[in-house]
Amino acid sequence: MLFSYVKTAVFSHTYPFSTMTSFFQSLVENTPSYIFYTASVILSLALISISHCFYFRLITKLYNLPPGTMGYFPLIGETLTFLKLKEKFTFQRHSKYGRVYKTHIFGSPTVRVCGSDNIRTLMMGDTKILQVFWPPSTQSLVGSHSLAVSSGECHRQHKSLILKTMTPSKLKSHLDHFQTTASEKIESWINSGIIDPVQQCRDMTVRSVIKYFIRNDLSESVIEKLINEITTFEKNLMSIPLNIPGTGFYKSMKARAEICSIIQSVLCQNNKDTKCQAQSKDFLNSLHSMLQENRDGNVEKKIEDSILEIIFAGNLTTTVASFSTLYLLANHPKVLQKLREELNEFGLMSPDGIHYPIVTQDHIPKLNYLQCVFKEILRRLPPVGGVYRKVLKPFQLEGYTIPANWRVVCSIRDQHIGDCTFDNPMTFNPDRWLETADDHSAFDFIPFGAASRRCVGKDFARLSILYTILELARRAQWKMQPSTVKIDFIPAPKPMEEMTATFERYKHE
């Protein structure tokens, strides 16, 4: 009988297949569903684990990989350890392995890099070898025409257009925007007495972005709607890109559509309203006119993506820098006092606490200590933790080979507060910037990135933060409760517990 079955199995083309099909169909139908699915998951994980081990054994033999560990679990790697230790994870590994080490986080084999020469190599690197990398959800939300997603000639041309709308001369002609935004918000904090510093810094920043890049005389109801939609939009920039009702990504895509609808409505209103002040429609209409002059296709789509990218890139980072200003200056009263002394030397303090002199474009370059405080805030608590790249072709770094399809992270935070760049890096000391910095590379301090991917909104953010520091110093006295907190650095610095700030007017004697 057994011989007969084997004979049939060998010489028949249908019977063995139908028998096996019937067998597996019967197995599926007679096995409880939870056992079947559990077994399927276990089998899948086992296959992934085997593939994972085989891949890393093979690639280790082929290449001289950087030192480090990849974790014990497929796909997960060291992700859980990274999320648990946060910034300590990178410090411990840089201390153990050096400036270049490998790990496996968020589903990808990754090499983290610090050291100004290494960062320069990566940021100035060949685009045929390295490619800017963002999660699929971020790419979908900021749009295909955004600078973050584009590359090559397309990136160069679009960046050139946006930079023309934000030249230093144009920004300086609108210094009243930065001074008014900061002073009005800080006055409201003084009048309120007690505020939520994280929420209020965010509100100040998003209002500044809306009024400068969309229109400065929008009604309060439109501003509030935009703030709510922007909040939803930002929450799921890095999420699972499932655009189905109920998911965070779906909510963010819906918020994106609402923001774009308002942008188009404002642009239409600007074109019809001949009485509209030039300043109120400066950026939006300037960009629209340039795109039309260049006869670019998809003008409306490019405008939407440009504004959304500015919201994505500028809002979060400037909010973080504003909070960091409150937090660091509250804990370093001697620095705050020295800053006030400089402002007083230039006649910018208010003896009566009512009349505050206007800070002109001639003042800013002369306020050396203000510039030092600005730099030290961005060094000590850099808003952006790192720059991410995808490896297209294997390349060498410090004698190690970085394989294709791996991720490379140029760690800005590690560079700023690691032991390899600045003396006593954990100490908040603006005076360090008064000293000669001939021994420092241009890639030692990179809060806004570098090379062709440097943030296009750098000058806007710089003026926003400078005026926030300046107006805080001359108008307010404040305390943070609690005075010190643990900072969560993922994805950007924020306190790990709720904080309040108590404000009162500063009276200069």
DSSP string, 155-204: HHHHHHHHHHHT-HHHHHTTHHHHHHHHHHHHHHHHHHSEE-HHHHHHHH
Task: Write the CA distances from 65 to 106, 233, 281, integer angstroms.
Answer: 19, 39, 53
What SS3 state is found at 108? strand
What SS3 state is found at 3? helix
pLDDT at 312: 76
Is 212 within the bounds of a domain?
yes
Distance CA 441, CA 450 (A): 12
Give exposure, 88-115, as e/b (b: 16+ Cβ within 10 Å).
Answer: ebbbebbeebbbbbbbbbeeebbbbbbb
pLDDT category at 423 given cuts 50, 70, 90 is confident
pLDDT at 468: 96
Is 437 within the bounds of a domain?
yes
* Six-digit token string for 5: 């079955």
Distance CA 267, CA 164 (A): 19
Region of poorest pLDDT, from 30-39, 192-201, 315-324? 30-39
What's the predicted TM-score (pTM) here?
A: 0.81
pLDDT reading at 310 higher than 90 = no
Average pLDDT for residues 431-455, to the nearest whole number? 76
Is 481 within the bounds of a domain?
yes
Average pLDDT for residues 201-215, to the nearest whole number? 89
Strand order of the β-sheet with 100-105 is 100-105, 108-113, 407-411, 386-391, 130-132
Provide the domain count of the chain. Answer: 1
The model's pLDDT over 189-205, given as tens digits with 9 standing for 90+, comes to 999 999 999 999 999 99
Q: At what angle do helices 368-380 and 333-345 cross, to 10 degrees?
A: 150
Is 420 within the bounds of a domain?
yes
Say whether 455 counts as a known binding-site residue: yes
The model's pLDDT over 137-171, given as tens digits with 9 standing for 90+, comes to 888 888 877 777 777 777 777 777 777 777 777 78
Is 306 within the bounds of a domain?
yes
Q: CATH number for the domain including 378?
A: 1.10.630.10
CB 389 within 8 A of CB 411: no
Give 429's contacts (C-beta < 8 A, 6+ positions apart): 376
Average pLDDT for residues 270-275, to the nearest whole number? 67
The model's pLDDT over 106-138, given as tens digits with 9 standing for 90+, comes to 778 899 998 888 888 888 776 678 888 777 788
* Six-digit token string for 385: 């933790």
pLDDT at 5: 39
Percent of the chain at pLDDT > 90 equals 29
Query: In terms of residue numbers, what domain contains 373?
Result: 138-505
**Kind and range of the H or E run holding 300:** helix 299-310
Task: Tell me the pairing of strands 386-391 and 407-411.
Answer: antiparallel
pLDDT category at 435 given cuts 50, 70, 90 is confident
Maximum pairwise Cα distance, the chain: 109
pLDDT at 3: 38
Distance CA 161, CA 145 (A): 13
Give 202's contacts (C-beta < 8 A, 6+ positions apart): 315, 319
Is 50 within the bounds of a domain?
no
Is 27 within the bounds of a domain?
no
Distance CA 75, CA 79 (A): 9
Is 170 within the bounds of a domain?
yes
pLDDT category at 328 given cuts 50, 70, 90 is very high
